[in-house]
Amino acid sequence: MNSTASEPRVVATKRIRDTWPPISEDEVVLPSGARKDWIRMHLGTSAAILAVTKEKEIILTREYRHGLARTAYSLPGGTARESESADDCARRELLEETGFRAGRLLEMFAGNSLTAYLEGTLHLFFTRECVPTDRRPDPDEIQSVERMSVTQALANARAGAFESAVLTLAILMADARGWLVG
């Protein structure tokens, strides 16, 4: 997208935090000439994965989500390590958080999930016929690993019952592509 004179522009940046997640504050000049301070979180590459078993069950995690201040359903996922590809990140996170190994990955989405203040790209992947391993998730991170039928997951997504827009998006996108029934 081309920048025009009428678009807001960053005139100063101050680093607020260097530890994860890095945060900066930008001073932005708006088209009217007014100035506004905006926070930006720098997450880089992240990945999440919608994993389906051969029994047509979706593998979800139940994790404490600080923004909600409670435990909620989530897709396995996280931030890529240095020089780690998005698909390798998705595979690693699925294994670490659920103990399941991914089959072939199909990418459904690559974009920004919080455009107001997040700098980075979220990659959403789909895999079918994932298989369990002996690995167990860290109980301080993952409260439980749950299997939900595709039918129930679709009903929850269509009803807006999940608190995660990313989880809802992944289920609806996979369904729209015919991947949940095939």
Q: Which pLDDT tens digits describe the chain residue by residue (182 residues)?
A: 555 568 999 999 999 999 988 999 999 999 999 999 999 998 889 999 999 999 999 999 999 998 889 999 999 999 999 999 999 999 999 999 999 999 999 999 999 888 888 889 999 999 998 999 999 998 888 999 999 999 999 999 999 999 999 999 999 999 999 999 75
- Decide if 116 is inside a domain: yes
Question: What's the number of domains the chain is made of?
Answer: 1
Q: Is residue 36 included in any domain, yes or no?
A: no
Check which CATH number belongs to the domain holding 121 and give it. Answer: 3.90.79.10
Is 101 a member of any domain? yes
Model-wide pTM > 0.75: yes
Q: How far apart are CA 132 and CA 120, in angstroms?
A: 30
Domain that holds residue 123: 43-176
Other Cβ atoms closer than 10 A to 71: 13
Per the annotation, the verdict on 141 as an active-site residue is yes
For residue 6, what are its two tokens?
């009428």
Angle between helical axes of 150-159 and 165-176 (0-180°, round to 10): 120
Question: Does residue 6 belong to any structural domain of this protein?
Answer: no
Which residue in 107, 141, 146, 163 is the catalytic one?
141
Instruction: Tell me, yes or no, whether 92 lies in a domain.
Output: yes
